[in-house]
Structure 1
Amino acid sequence: MNDILGDWKRSQYCGQLTAAEIGKEVCLMGWVQRRRDHGGLIFIDLRDREGIVQLALDPDRDPEAHKKADTVRSEFVLAVKGKVSPRPAGTVNPKMKTGEVEVEVSELRILNTAKTPPFMLDEYTEVAENLRLKYRYLDLRRPAIQNNLMLRHRVTRTVRRYLDGQGFLEIETPVLTKSTPEGARDYLVPSRVNPGTFYALPQSPQLFKQLLMVSGFDRYCQIVKCFRDEDLRADRQPEFTQIDCEMSFVDREDVIGIMQGMIAAVFKETLGIDVSLPMPRMTYAEAMARFGVDNPDLRFDLELVELSNLVKESGFKVFADVVKDGGIVKALNAKGCGSFSRKEIDDLTEFVKIYGAKGLAYVKVTEAGWQSPIAKFFNDKELEAMNRALKAEVGDLLLFVADSYRVANESLGRLRVNLGHKLGLAKKDEFRFVWITEFPLLEWDGEARRHVAVHHPFTAPLDEDVPLLDGDPGKVRAKAYDLVLNGSEIGGGSIRIHDQAVQSKMFDLLGIGAEEAREKFGFLLDALEFGAPPHGGIAFGLDRLVMILTGSDSIRDVIAFPKTQKATCLMSEAPGGVDEKQLRELSIRLAARPK
């Protein structure tokens, strides 16, 4: 490469040239975005990570450079020398940072040729995602993706600066660790030197960061890779990155105060947006009552209303029987949507069925009253009460779900979000934060016939709810808190259990016996007996946060080399098979061969 470049040294990036550099001699290097021949005068758009600049090659100025330019094609790698000049009158491009200037090329070197790429590398071309991921190294040349990753860099830089200023120490935790119960499936790594045993890739550094608090480091942080072998969707990946923090001698208010300051710093540094502090709060119970989910999108209204008490004695047996059997009836008012067609309403019905609802009742509010198959089952008093509760007006569409507490809330809560996007109420350039607090500590798993932790087994219960652990554990609230942004949970944390007896009690409630607890978590239980301080922390999903900051529709657009929804890499073809020798070294015999 030194022979190719010789004594040529790049003076600056292409996208950095402005009118202030007019008259300056520059040396630029980059890729050819496009080439245009205007009857002898050749123009080349040269691109690097900072942007594009126009090159002008005149055969009268340098015949040799012009001759080379005539052979140039898209994605050739060039180095050029020349003088920055103002663009001719009428050719200024105000949409480009470099739109006032061009470079009059005096020397040109072709550093490498390129095959014709399988798709155009500009920000306007729509390309199938599978093709983009197969040629990811080309996709990463596209300005939109490069801008996403550069913003991601600015986020991590801001986070590190902020946390350093708050006294945090960045400490690395192990990547090869021990498999523990609870949470998603682990990715397992066989041990060659200990045949028949396995490491697990960490789902989070949870236990190690708690041990660092026992060790007296007081404030820990890490931008860390985590791994979960779970079903994927647009905002999940098998390997993802967390901004992970833990603090000693703190309560919930300390953690929330420091962390919301960090998020505000990120928004200020990356988008120039001032986030109002303190961020609003909402208990889990309030979030479920108003929005049906614990990650409410506050950019629009469409709040849910429970009508159980108003319909429990009604003549509509579908509603009355659900309430009688312990379920609930909830509804939302889709303002101004009374014009929806039957097909659109049927589509909404199919949508709620995804979340377990048996159906969706609807009412169109007209000048003549309720237009609906269910209207005849209610008396005037019940109709008036429901209209008042839902603030119904002519032109509205009322949507009802009657089911168990979980199904009614989730199906109608997800339908609310679906409608918000369908109606254009959720704007990408609007950011609404809310802290959700006082989550349940436990929830009942009917299939496993035991309680499971809502967050994780190391979350402390609210002090006033500790007496309920013995008699009514399902009512115990946790010292847990999530930060929700535009309907996405971007961070979750809690105050941890620092008392060994309480931690053992928690394992017992989760059906983890003393022997299993000792086998899986013995080192933590031992550590808690050596003076563990009160401590708590939080982890933010870096990928998800950057996805929202950039307005991307997929988390894959903010990760350099992401996996598909089947957890594969189309570019490198991972995961792949290994040869028999490697398997024998690991003492592994396959029950199934890879396809």
Structure 2
Amino acid sequence: MNDILGDWKRSHYCGDISAAEIGQEVVLMGWVQRRRDHGGLIFIDLRDREGIAQLALDPDRDPDAHGKAELVRNEFVVAARGVVSPRPEGTVNPKMKTGEVEVEVRELRILNSAQTPPFMIDEFSEVAENIRLQHRYLDLRRAPLQRNLLLRHQVSKTVRRYLDDEGFIEVETPVLTKSTPEGARDYLVPSRVTPGNFFALPQSPQLFKQLLMVSGFDRYYQIVKCFRDEDLRADRQPEFTQIDCELSFVDRDQIISIMEKMVAEVFKATLGVELTLPMPRITYTESMARFGVDNPDLRFDLELVELSNVVKDSGFKVFAEVVKKGGIVKALNAKGCASFSRKEIDDLTEFAKIYGAKGLAYVKVQEDGSWQSPIAKFFTDKEIASIDQALQAEAGDLLLFVADSYRITNETLGRLRGHLGHKLGLAKKDVYRFAWITDFPLLEWDGEARRHVAVHHPFTAPVEEDMALLDGDPGSVRAQAYDLVLNGSEIGGGSIRIHDQAVQKKMFALLGIDAEEAEEKFGFLLNALEYGAPPHGGIAFGLDRLAMILTGSDSIRDVIAFPKTQKATCLLSGAPGQVDNKQLRELSIRSAVRSQ
């Protein structure tokens, strides 16, 4: 038995006491949020993961408990036994979950002392993120992060319950596996017992979950850690968690139906939000045409309009030459934004250049309908009228144009659209707009590598009616792939897989992977496909990204208990760190950095 607790057992969490417990004896345990001495009476706000309870200590009622209360400071760990009582008239705090009651303490135990923390443990203190990450165990005591992780737990619990009811089986797949560098960079793990060889940490369980379908498990899922050695940003980490699923004997529509119902269950369980099903579907081609990206934010309009045909013969040579060379001209109408200052427009131009655009042309539509713009003089009245009509331009609007290649024009205006949506306050955090993006290209041309690469991954099946194009026009083949997009973020993506060995070999050949390389990297999959692989497909959801949206967080780090920084380091533990030379010798490794 723990002597410091004796026979005490916690009866309630601090945040769970209410008027229903008035008159009951309770035992609470937690951390001192604050201690207030009112010249005799001492009040302690005691905190645990469920909330805060007010303890009242009267020297006349229990001098020993009151004496101990004089010793406690913020973040001391204490246990209190007492009776729940209504707060005196005029002291009720309606902003607190437990604001109607307090605990009249009969006995107090100090379980541990604490140094003064490097920042206040509350939700209002502004603390630099590097300090919070360095002392993450203290940061995690703060209510906002605790709420985030409790909601994340609720997501996982809901997913498991739903998938279990749908006949899915949870199976763990290997963490130490083989490097198959066809996507992001792998994290490599040296093998001591086979010198010179390396394991890779999985970027996803893709191949193993397909093998489980060959094995006859029919419906698999796993909430699994994955690893990618890639550049980081606010919604990306080197290690991340996926809700990973695979199903046999299904088509795309069946998978989408099952999975959007799961997402609806998650929103209902965590936020009490009822989603409308079925969710909208948009083809990749339509998404690129209307929004410039394949992960559109549908909380606001600001759709893109192609103007290539309108401006191809205009006097503005920048536009005309781009169209002549095979590029496109597109624009968006920022309604009511003609009041933007020159600096604001210059800032938008610099933003556009991030995505490769050479510049950003603009037009301010005046009260009389005329254009105020450096490019106005190059267009005829007829061309201006056609552009106004296409963009539904009105007085007070700001028209923004990009002319470049298909890729640069779409990405630039697509990202600019998202940027404006946030700048103008159109992207409300409590509004949720979903869409399935379908019919992606199967392949895209990599000019630098001089070969095709898979848009999703090499195991995605082509659309059946496009199979005949694989030999002569592979760039036109559509994939049986689908992404679920929420508020401009891809939260899930999947596809129907190739289950025929001959088609899989053809796919490898189109990607520039010859038979020898295919056998070396993927021989175990090719062999398995010879033994009666069923038609199958799957999907993976980013649990971290989904939790970030559900909690309204601005950074994915706020929904992960112990995250890495944007430099892929852990400020708490100091990882990654160096190892001693003995360990390197055991692994038959010499450090190039140390030998410099």
> Considering the TM-score relative to the shorter chain, is it more than 0.5?
yes
Distance 2:303 2:81 in 1: 62
1:497 — aligned with what? 498
2:335 — aligned with what? 335
Distance 2:50 2:181 in 1: 46
**CA separation of 1:341 and 1:594: change in aligned 2, threshold 3 A:** farther
Deviation at 1:367, TM superposition (A): 2.4
Report Cα offsets for 1:475-508 as digits up to 9, x if no partner: 1100000000000000000000000000000000
| Counterpart check, 1:363 vs 2:390 | no
2:450 — aligned with what? 449
1:435 — aligned with what? 436
Report Cα offsets for 1:489-533 as digits up to 9, x if no partner: 000000000000000000000000110000000000011011100
Deviation at 1:393, TM superposition (A): 0.2
| Counterpart check, 1:521 vs 2:495 | no
2:10 — aligned with what? 10
1:196 — aligned with what? 196
Letter in 2 for 1:560: A
Equivalent runs, 1:74-113 vs 2, <5 Å: 74-113=74-113
Distance 1:128 1:446 in 2: 42
Equivalent runs, 1:110-121 vs 2, <5 Å: 110-121=110-121
Deviation at 1:126, TM superposition (A): 1.2
Report Cα offsets for 1:32-74 as digits up to 9, x if no partner: 0001111111110000000000001111111111111111100
Letter in 2 for 1:525: L
Distance 1:251 1:88 in 2: 64
Letter in 2 for 1:199: F
Distance 1:515 1:26 in 2: 71
Equivalent runs, 1:260-339 vs 2, <5 Å: 260-339=260-339
Report Cα offsets for 1:415-474 as digits up to 9, x if no partner: 000000000000000000000000000001010000000000000000111111100111
Q: Which consecutive segments of 4 or more residues in structure 1 shift more than 2 A? A: none
Distance 2:23 2:127 in 1: 40
1:25 — aligned with what? 25
1:41 — aligned with what? 41
Letter in 2 for 1:303: E
Letter in 2 for 1:533: P
1:392 — aligned with what? 393
3-state SS in 2 of match to 1:59: coil
3-state SS in 1 of match to 2:396: coil
2:143 — aligned with what? 143
1:214 — aligned with what? 214
Letter in 1 for 2:584: L
1:463 — aligned with what? 464
Distance 1:503 1:345 in 2: 49
TM normalised by structure 1 equals 0.99
Distance 1:65 1:118 in 2: 28
2:541 — aligned with what? 540
Deviation at 1:594, TM superposition (A): 10
Length, aligned pairs only: 595
**Cα pair 1:577 1:594 within 8 Å, conserved:** no
Distance 2:430 2:118 in 1: 32
Distance 1:331 1:219 in 2: 45
Letter in 2 for 1:564: T
Distance 1:517 1:9 in 2: 61
3-state SS in 2 of match to 1:443: strand
3-state SS in 2 of match to 1:2: coil
Distance 1:212 1:26 in 2: 51
Distance 1:544 1:367 in 2: 44
Distance 1:14 1:528 in 2: 56
Report Cα offsets for 1:89-139 as digits up to 9, x if no partner: 111111111000000111101000000000011111111100000000000
Distance 1:465 1:500 in 2: 18
In structure 2, stretches of 5+ residues that fail to align are none
Deviation at 1:573, TM superposition (A): 0.1
Distance 1:411 1:446 in 2: 20
Distance 1:536 1:54 in 2: 54
TM normalised by structure 2 equals 0.99
**CA separation of 1:535 and 1:316: change in aligned 2, threshold 3 A:** same
Distance 1:538 1:210 in 2: 11
Distance 2:125 2:488 in 1: 29
Distance 1:456 1:56 in 2: 62
Q: Percent identity?
A: 82
Letter in 2 for 1:244: D
Distance 1:500 1:92 in 2: 71
Distance 2:533 2:595 in 1: 47
Deviation at 1:181, TM superposition (A): 2.4
Letter in 2 for 1:97: K
1:345 — aligned with what? 345
Report Cα offsets for 1:228-279 as digits up to 9, x if no partner: 0000000000000000000000100010000001000000111111110000
2:489 — aligned with what? 488
Letter in 2 for 1:337: C
